[in-house]
Structure 1
């Protein structure tokens, strides 16, 4: 992007506590989570510099006094990196690097680096590269100003395209290429989901804040060997396994990437194909670290991302994990007034409550069905086609006025998604519902 200093393994961390309304401040982050992110990236933390400000400095994000402090600490400890727990502008990143003479990374760059380390499948690597290139494209605007002139002189006259324009074009071409490849992968996933729907196999997708214990729970439930570490973003690539529940119901269990505060938008967009396993699920298992002090806030962050990807209306079962760390907590199922399971308390690490979890999943997978008779006019052939794709039509006949009368049964989640997909309230076509 510009003349960057070489990276390394030892880092100084910078965390600023802004004194304005913290709930509204996009720069406010949790320091402990920041340290955990750095540890997950495999870096050695030499020192943590904190400060309080009312607002970011336009040039350095922090004050000139703190810049001097970073320079002194960096020289004393011979640090390779300075990592900010905030989103820096390209100009701020460049100005700080120039002042401290060390490579500077912001929070988004750190998360992208962790994702790059964790991606193992072809699809995962493409998704990470796409997010990195989109992040890089915002820095290319100001980073290459020293190259923003046309070549001249004998033997150096070119087509009139500046180096910056060339780099932008190459970047755009690579982004388009990756998006085309990911689109193909998305279509393959869609074919797999359609075949599962035709076979009437329900999909249960595990979601949750990063490091809540999703992969440990997945391994325990399915006897899989997914990487499960006490690190943020230990899982990137989705894994699907078929399991049998106590009453003989077969479901597909899907493990997905964890969420985090202020997850970069480009990452959410890049991992859309992966997250579609959640969007298309019949039931979501929201795994929660029950022992975390930030439990409620983490739950809110997960719901924000689910809303972003259109999965917030899918039937959900909360799984309060890590009860072994809570004194007196025992495995149990919490139910609503109608007796439907809404929450299960388990410990994946200690193998406690897993059978209760399977029972609750089976109840939701079986109960969450829409069954009824629809009367639709001939002009709504598209709706009929979608219902056939979902293998939802059990009986079909014509009424006296030429309307189609369909006896249907399909998961409520699919019924909700279909209404959203067609951008139409389908309840007007229901004659009766069971």
Structure 2
């Protein structure tokens, strides 16, 4: 049961990283730069397969340690519980890195994020591959996750439609579900360190994405351009970024140290709210978080994500208690359910252009609510797996579709911030879901 629960935990963590950051810019360029840029042909949208390769290895890297934590603990000379911080540090860096990289994308543009993210990913991988000590390995894992979050930010920013974003989100779910088996096979064949390095393959897509993303710069004008290669200048709200980072950190730690994290999160939230009131156009724009479309999309994504995380933690225990399944059977069944739900989640993303917002949200809420109800009342094993399929479908589909709704509510200069904050709300399900599952099921 421990192995199965661990698989659910890290699979959920990776899927929540299906975070997306849309790009816009607000600065003009000089006439000389414009002349050079306009001489370059525009290649059109980046093929979605390149974007998928850029983004989805993050999920496999997050889940690769699941089945080999004991091997890593022995190699590093630490206990098994201490080794789980190799997973927690990855989740923390993804959550913290998302809004920070959204700010970098807004101010410095797409190429800057590609460079910084690639450097973090490669540097972190080298640390993980060579470090003999846990603290240095944790640093490498955090750098890997932050770099992967940056590349995912670029991929999602260039998706351009719910259909293409649905492909990326589905890829996250599929690679996240397959990550534990991939990591175990690599560890058995070569080394557990190689298992922790799988996310570095994302850099293979960087040259092609950079080539396709090359676009002419906007001419000097008072209106804000929407070219992802231009940048947004202005004073950076360091205090706002620091307070948001502190708030996110306390929420990520909530399942691990509930008492301390709960008080700390309350303090951080209060300080952040006061700062937003003093500086409404700062790192967290006050006008954005007051928009009903943005707030509704973000809160609905949080609810569906929280339900999904709760299911992922609870279903393995329910399969054992209600259906009498052993850990191996439950783990295999859950893997199949996760893969199925992730693949099906592309359907609402593909159909969203032909459906109203109300209709799309009704489907997502209906499926998510049905999945939760089935989990509460079902005692038949296959029906509990159907609940997992439904929860995965609703949460992953919401990540693709509702992120587009959230972005559409923001003016161009605030779109990177909008998608970063939306992704952050989705990830908070990873903090609340485990606590709910522990209170309702795991502690029983």
Structure 2 length-normalised TM: 0.19
Structure 1 length-normalised TM: 0.20
Larger-Rg structure: 1
Q: Per residue, is there more strand in 1 or in 2? A: 1
Q: Per residue, is there more helix in 1 or in 2? A: 2
